[in-house]
Amino acid sequence: MREHKIEEIRHLTNSAYVLRMERNGFNFQTGQFVMISPGKLALQREYSVYSGENDPFLEVLIREVEEGIVSKQLKLLAPGDRVKLDGPFGFFKFHPGMFPSKKFIFVATGTGISPFHSFVRTFPGLDYQLIHGVRFGNEAYEHNNFDKNRITLCTSGDASGNFEGRVTDYVASQKLHAETQYFLCGNSEMITEMFDILTAKGVPVENIYSEVYF
C-alpha cells in the first residue's frame, strides 16, 4: 500500500465527484481498479481508474453512498491531504489490439462510465459507441470528454437524455452486429439483462465483457 496526495476534487453532482491524486509513479492498465483508504481509516473501497494510462495524474470517479463510510470520508478531503492506495487489480483490462474487431460498444450505468472514460482517454482514436444509463440528465458525468456523436444518454427519471428509458430498453431497440466487441459496466441487474439481450440478438458470449459494480 502506498500514499498519494490529493491534487483536486471536482464535484459533478451533490453526490458524485472526481478525486484527482498525484500519479507518484503508479502504473495500471486501463480498465483496472484500485483500493482507496482515506487517511487513517482502516476501511478500503474499490474504484475503477477514471484517468488515462498516460495522464500525469490518477483519478477515480466516486458516488457518495448514503450508508457508506469511505465515500463520505473521501468527499471531505482537500488538496494536500493523503490517501492510501493499493493495486492495481482486476481483469477488465483493455487494449484495442487485443481484439479481432476494432469496433466497440460500451454500456454503462451510473459511475460504471469510469473505465470507459479511461479507455477513451488512453486510446483517443478508438472506434466506439458509449451508451450511458442514469436516472437524471445531471448525472451525465463529464460527457464533454467524449465525442458527442459517439455517446447516447439514456435517462429513466426525466426526458433530458437522448433516449427516455432504461439503457437495456435502448439497446434492445437497436440493430446490433455480432462481430462488435461489447463491454458492460454497472449494476448486476443491467449486466444480466444485457447478456440476455445481446445473445438473443446473435452476439457470441466471447464478444461480451463485463464488470459488476454492485
- pLDDT class for 67, splitting at 50, 70, 90? confident
Q: What is the arrangement of strands in the sheet containing 163-164, beginning at the earlier edge strand?
A: 163-164, 151-155, 127-134, 103-109, 181-186, 208-212
pLDDT tens per residue across span 13-26: 999 999 999 999 99
Prediction pTM value? 0.94
User: Does 211 score more than 80 pLDDT?
Assistant: yes
Pairing, β 151-155 against β 127-134: parallel
User: Does 84 score more than 80 pLDDT?
Assistant: yes
CB 17 within 8 A of CB 39: no
pLDDT tens per residue across span 87-135: 999 989 999 998 888 899 999 999 999 999 999 999 999 999 999 999 9
- Give strand pairing partners of 109: 133
Domains along the chain with CATH numbers: 2-89 (2.40.30.10), 96-212 (3.40.50.80)
